[in-house]
Amino acid sequence: MRKLKTYLWLLSLSCAIIGCTNEEAVLPVNDSSDAETETAEETVEEAEETEPAIDENLTSVDVATTLVANDLEPHPMQDITKPDYLETIVDPSFGTIIRRISNAGTGGVIKPMYNTIQAWNADESRIILYDQTNGVHQLLDGMSYEFIRNLDDVRPDDLEQLFWDFNDPDILYFLDSVTDEFIKYSVSSGNKEVLVNLKELTNCTGSISMGNDVQMMSWDSDVIGFRCDNSETYFYRFSTEELVTFNLDDVNYTAAMPAPSGSLFYHNVSSYDADGNFKARLNKSKPEHSCLGKMVDGTDTDFSVSFDAGPNGGCQGNIIAYDLNTGDCLPVISEGLGYAYPKTGTHISAVAHKNPGWIAASMIGFEGDGQALLDQELVIARVEPGNVQVYRI
């Protein structure tokens, strides 16, 4: 069953630790790159570690009390047997539990949407997967992972663009692919409320999109980023009905995306302020797979893989944290910390909005056989300046 393990671990994490609101640190896996999607195994699995009950009033909770921080020892991938649907197995390399949560059948693919998009809702009572074979999103129980229903009454502009509300567990948001209306949707009732029509709002005569590299809404569910064709990119704040056009030279078919605070934004290799003006040039060589989140101290951060040094030197590694206020970087996994050159197929998830500073990532690696450090591995990490802790799981 090496092939199962290979495909399981090449999938990137769609929702890192979510808010850690229950007693398990649950990490679903996903990779939405076109080339890798075609070969994905027909099951989606999760690695989980049982933890003590968590006080939601805490700003950051340690979810790795039984794991070893910054372990550089070899843990080669071993053959495992595919579990039955909703059953578990213990990973022989790290001792974590893997639960199979989908049942697509031979040749089918069911998985979370993307690593930057939150799979669980605000209280982890529901989780969304995407049935690629049948082209429909699935709603599952967030604790038992039992299938509830297909979300065939929503039509998001892109399969990755269903956004859970960060506080209300019943609410989803999406940009309607036909009308360009931004919709607030009740999962329990199916009711839809039009919040704004983005084409009418901007007088855009072309196509409205929230891509190319979509991220979540701001963590108060108040701010979205989007673009009109390749001409302009905007953010809209629902509470004040404020529309801001970003002052940048090249949209590059990518919408500026809100950071968790809703006051900073990320586009290409730069950050922008709430007036749409340039804030900082990240010490980043070029755009790579990344996810917006926070460090432990609440700093808006772009967590990214970086295969080359930044223009000011340094900032190369498997996971680099870029401060959106200054553009400076903090290595999380890098050669300077004892790891190898960055692995291919690295995807990072940093949307743990109830446990800021915790992120998760997956790496495929060059050999793809799971024998070298970080090849075919999943990690979680607590990112705090001066105290970075990486846990291989």
Q: Are 329 and 309 in contact (CB under 8 A)?
A: no
> What is the per-residue pLDDT for 354?
94
**Residues 52-81, mean pLDDT to the nearest whole number:** 78
Q: Above pLDDT 70, what percent of the chain?
A: 85
pLDDT value at 36 more than 80 = no
Query: Would you give the DSSP letter of residue 342?
Result: P
pLDDT digits 0-9 by tens, 210-242: 988 899 999 999 999 999 999 999 999 999 999
pLDDT of residue 212: 85
* Sheet with 257-258, edge to edge strand ranges: 257-258, 265-267, 270-272, 278-281
Q: Given pLDDT bands bounded at 50, 70 and 90, which one contains residue 253?
A: very high
| DSSP summary character for residue 335 | G
Confidence (pLDDT) at 62: 80
Three-state DSSP at 71 gives coil
- C-alpha span between 38 and 361 (Å, rounded): 21
pLDDT band at 186 (very low <50, low <70, confident <90, very high): very high
**Backbone angle region of 251, left / alpha / beta, with phi > 0 → left and psi within -120 to 50 → alpha:** alpha
Distance CA 232, CA 248 (A): 9
Residue-level pLDDT at 159: 96
Average pLDDT, integer, range 279-305: 98
- The encoded tokens of residue 217 equal 């809404």
Structure confidence at residue 368 as a pLDDT band (50, 70, 90): confident
pLDDT higher than 70, residue 77: yes
Looking at the predicted structure, is the pLDDT value of residue 258 above 50?
A: yes
To the nearest whole percent, how much of the chain has pLDDT over 90?
Answer: 82
Query: How far, rounded to the nearest angstrom, does the alpha carbon of residue 117 sit from its chain's CA centroid?
Result: 5
Whether residue 39 has pLDDT greater than 90: no
Given a cut of 80, whether residue 29 has pLDDT beyond it is no
Q: What CA–CA distance (Å, rounded) separates 333 from 365? A: 14
The whole-number average pLDDT for the span 231-256 is: 97
**Rounded distance, CA 176 to CA 117, Å?**
17
Over residues 107-150, the pLDDT tens digits come to 999 999 999 999 999 999 999 999 999 999 999 999 999 999 99
Structure tokens at 77: 């991938």
Residue/partner pairs of 86-94 with CB below 8 Å, 24 or more apart: 86/144, 86/145, 86/146, 91/47, 94/392, 94/393
**Mean of the per-residue pLDDT values of the chain:** 88
C-alpha 76/C-alpha 82 separation (Å) is 18
pTM: 0.87
Are 62 and 52 within 8 A, CB to CB?
A: no
- Do 302 and 322 contact (CB within 8 A), yes or no? yes
Beta carbons within 10 angstroms of residue 281's beta carbon: 15
Q: pLDDT category, 66, cuts 50, 70, 90? A: confident
Q: Is the pLDDT of residue 161 over 50?
A: yes
Cα separation, 290 vs 214, in Å, equals: 10
Output the six-digit token pair for 90.
């213990």
pLDDT given at position 40: 36
Pull the structure tokens for residue 26.
């649950």
CB atoms within 10 A of CB 142: 21
- What tokens appear for 166 in the block? 């960060």
**Torsions phi, psi for 162 (to 5 deg):** -115, 120
Distance CA 269, CA 266 (A): 7
Residue 59 banded pLDDT, cuts 50, 70, 90: low
